[in-house]
């Protein structure tokens, strides 16, 4: 089992792959949006996250 998990972990972080932490806080999202002149509303944050997942996101982690 350990070998299998190690292979999966190496694959996930190989070139061209990655993990998206999709639970960024409102202040963090506001900074990101401010830098591109977008208002940080609930609708815009939801649309942003939806866009991320539609653009071939392979793995995601959610923090408690």
- Total of domains in the chain: 1
The answer to whether 19 and 61 are in contact (CB under 8 A) is yes
pTM of the entire predicted model? 0.58
Residue 49, token pair as written in the block: 């996250």
Give me the domain span that covers residue 19: 2-61
Q: What are the pLDDT digits (tens) for 46-62?
A: 998 888 878 765 666 67
Average pLDDT over residues 13-28: 81
The answer to whether 34 and 40 are in contact (CB under 8 A) is yes
Average pLDDT over residues 23-42: 93
pLDDT, residue 51, reads: 86
């Amino acid at each position: 089992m350990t070998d299998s998990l190690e292979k999966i972990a190496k694959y996930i972080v190989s070139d061209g792959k990655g993990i998206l932490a999709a639970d960024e806080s409102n202040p963090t999202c506001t900074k990101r949006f401010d830098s591109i002149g977008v208002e940080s509303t609930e609708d815009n944050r939801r649309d942003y996250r939806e866009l991320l997942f539609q653009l071939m996101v392979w793995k995601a982690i959610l923090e408690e």
